[in-house]
């Protein structure tokens, strides 16, 4: 995803939810740094419990993911609220 950013991440500091064990975070961080190189200023991990912006991103992703569930009546409710702000959603199979 970060390799298809159309330049939006130039000089950005990318913050990722820090859940997962230390080895996972270290491996993920190394892999991302290799893939994006110098296009971003930095990559760091932050616990969503302590970081309101990471928590907000988590909630938005959850709302979009929920919209794909067929077992929920209100699956589109939260995504509809976000729709004016959603720029792009990639569907993976």
The CA distance from 54 to 75, in Å, is 22
List residues bridging with 58 in a β-sheet.
Answer: none
Evaluate if residue 38 carries a pLDDT over 80.
no
Using an 8 Å Cβ cutoff, are 92 and 4 in contact?
no
CA pseudo-torsion sign 33, 92, 5, 17: negative
Question: For 49-71, what is each residue's pLDDT tens digit?
Answer: 889 999 999 999 899 999 999 89
pLDDT at residue 39, rounded to an integer: 78
pLDDT at residue 19 is higher than 80: no
Sign of CA dihedral 17, 22, 24, 27: positive
């Amino acid at each position: 995803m970060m390799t298809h950013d159309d330049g939006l991440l130039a000089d950005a500091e990318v913050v990722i939810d820090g859940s997962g064990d230390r080895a996972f975070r270290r491996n993920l961080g190394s892999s991302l740094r290799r893939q994006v190189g110098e296009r971003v200023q930095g990559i760091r991990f932050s616990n969503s419990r302590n970081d309101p912006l990471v928590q907000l991103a988590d909630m938005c992703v959850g709302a979009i993911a929920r919209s794909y569930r067929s077992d929920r009546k209100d699956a589109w409710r939260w995504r509809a609220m976000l729709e004016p702000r959603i720029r792009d959603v990639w569907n993976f199979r």
